[in-house]
Amino acid sequence: MDIVTSLLLAAVICVPLAHRLKMGAIPGYLFAGILIGPSGLAVVTDVQNIMRFSEWGVVMMLFVIGLELTPLHLWAMRRQVFGTGSLQMAACGAVLGVVFGAGLRHLAGMEWQMAILCGFSLALSSTAVALALLQERGVMRTPLGNASLGVLLLQDIVAIPLLAAAGLLGAGGAQAPSLGVIALAILAIFVGKKLRMLDWAAKTGLPEMYTAATLLMVFGTAQLFIMAGVSAGFGGLLIGVVMARSKHRDELAQTIEPFKGLLLGAFFLTIGMSINLHEIRESWPYVIAGVLALLGIKIMIVYGIARLIGLPHYHRLFFAVTLAQGGEFGFAIFAEAWDNGLLSLAQRDLMSAVVAISMATVPLLLKALEAMPARLGGIKGMPYPPAGFTDEATVAASAERKP
């Protein structure tokens, strides 16, 4: 069967079934990926190439979020990014680095530098999973959403030196991000806006040309940042922020939405396909221990941070659970470490399995929280946006939009 047909068929069967079971879309995509992936029916085996293609869904999602973040709004979020984000990364990275560093050195004979790097890599959260969960519940413009986005943006920045470190620790080395290319990429964004490429496409009266111009703008910017050694998602977010005050903003969001949804679905499918069931069967005690340690440590630390920054009590556990899973950057870091001889294939698959299973578990935990009353530690019946609350980032965005 054709690969595209297989992906679509698996998604159309599994995702509606997951919805009927009230599990949400993400577990459905993940299960579909496991079913047709190399560890399942092996209908699809070339996971890496599909992963590279599907990661554009994350770029598009960040672009759409960027369209909602005017420069003033983004500046107003500096405390969430550099305050909350730095605190989360430092605290989770330190604890996970020690716990997983000691465990991996003892169990896998791993060098201490790589063991600690693995711990810090696990401190990263999945941008795709977290933002999808927040958007499903309509809480992106609440203090919960702003704090989560701030943490995720900081993690995207920190992921670059972690990825570079995985190469520098190995025999092959890695290129550091090029500041010159980054500057040229940012310059190209503003030059492109001044040239009004979208206006030219709109004047043709051909919808397909406007779609092509939109995709070129997003993909082109992301590609420039990849060449600079920086996250493609950061490039997508930046061009979204630049276009946030454009007259084309609403049309851009509508144009990109169908592509974003399909590619994000493909991304979650490939996460499911990347789970090595054979490795899980062989090392299941370590996998279970790793997942429980990862989720437990991050939930406790992030919950404490939520209290520290003053999130409403009924948002704290929601915030902690949403950011508890491992992130997609973890797969890239583990793959880079394997390429450079720092991890064995079994170690890479074991670490990737822990991340993937944590990504599949968090949506289920959040569903369980929504079904539990507050007196038992859940969030059933609790309001997502606090009544009468307006954070400074939202105030800044509203002020900037006023004529």
| Mean pLDDT lowest among 41-50, 72-81, 181-190, 204-213 | 181-190
Bin 207: left if φ > 0, else alpha if -120 < ψ < 50, else beta: alpha
Q: Is the per-residue pLDDT at 394 higher than 60?
A: no
Domain that residue 108 falls in: 52-263+281-401
Least reliable range by pLDDT among 143-157, 204-218, 231-245, 315-329? 231-245
CATH of residue 197: 1.20.1530.20
| Six-digit token string for 39 | 């560890």
Number of domains in the chain: 1
pTM metric for this prediction: 0.72
Q: Which of 20-24, 120-124, 363-367 has the lowest mean pLDDT?
A: 20-24
Does residue 149 register a pLDDT over 80? yes
Residue 24: its pLDDT value, please?
A: 67
DSSP string for residues in 63-108: HHHHHT--HHHHHHTHIIIIIIIHHHHHHHHHHHHHHHHHHHHHHH
Mean pLDDT over 69-97 rounds to: 83
Percent of the residues in the chain that have a pLDDT greater than 90, as a whole number: 8
Report the alpha-carbon distance of residue 233 to residue 65 in Å, rounded: 11
Mean pLDDT for the stretch of residues 189-193: 71
| pLDDT greater than 60 at residue 261 | yes
pLDDT band at 393 (very low <50, low <70, confident <90, very high): very low
Q: Is residue 38 one of the residues assigned to a domain? A: no
Tell me if 59 sits within 8 A of 236, measured CB to CB: yes
pLDDT in tens, 371-389: 877 666 667 766 655 444 4
Per-residue pLDDT for 170 more than 80? no
Single out the residue of 330, 323, 305, 322 nearest to residue 159, CA to CA: 330
Task: Give CB contacts under 8 A, 24+ apart, made by 316-319.
Answer: 317/369, 317/377, 317/378, 317/379, 318/144, 318/366, 318/369, 318/379, 318/384, 319/144, 319/147, 319/148
- For residue 395, the model assigns a pLDDT of 41
The pLDDT score that the predictor gives to residue 195 is 64
Say if 46 falls within a structural domain: no
Q: Which residue has the higher pLDDT, 21 or 253?
A: 253
CB 290 within 8 A of CB 374: no
Instruction: Give the least confident one: 56-60, 78-82, 166-170.
Output: 166-170
pLDDT tens, residue by residue, 39-65: 888 888 877 778 777 778 878 877 887
Mean pLDDT of 274-278: 79
| pLDDT at 298 (0 to 100) | 95
How many distinct helices (H) and strands (E) make up the chain?
21, 0
Rounded distance between C-alpha atoms, residue 130 and residue 152, angstroms: 9
Q: Where are the alpha helices (DSSP H) in 195-283?
A: 197-203, 207-227, 232-242, 249-273, 277-282
396 band by pLDDT with thresholds 50, 70 and 90 = very low
In a domain, 32, yes or no: no
Look at residue 27 and tell me if it is in a domain.
no
Distance between CA atoms of residues 41 and 45, nearest Å: 10
**Listed range (124-138, 178-192, 293-307) with the worst mean pLDDT:** 178-192
Query: What share of the chain in percent tops pLDDT 70?
Result: 82
Collect contacts of 164-169 with beta carbons under 8 A, ≥24 apart: 164/229, 165/117, 166/117, 166/333, 166/334, 166/336, 166/337, 166/340, 166/342, 167/336, 167/340, 169/113, 169/114, 169/117, 169/337, 169/340, 169/342
For residue 37, give every residue at least 6 positions away whose Cβ sits within 8 Å of its Cβ, in sequence order, or none: 43, 44, 45, 47, 272, 273, 274, 275
pLDDT digits (tens, 9 = 90+) for 283-311: 888 888 889 999 999 999 999 999 998 88
For 236-262, what is the mean pLDDT?
Answer: 83
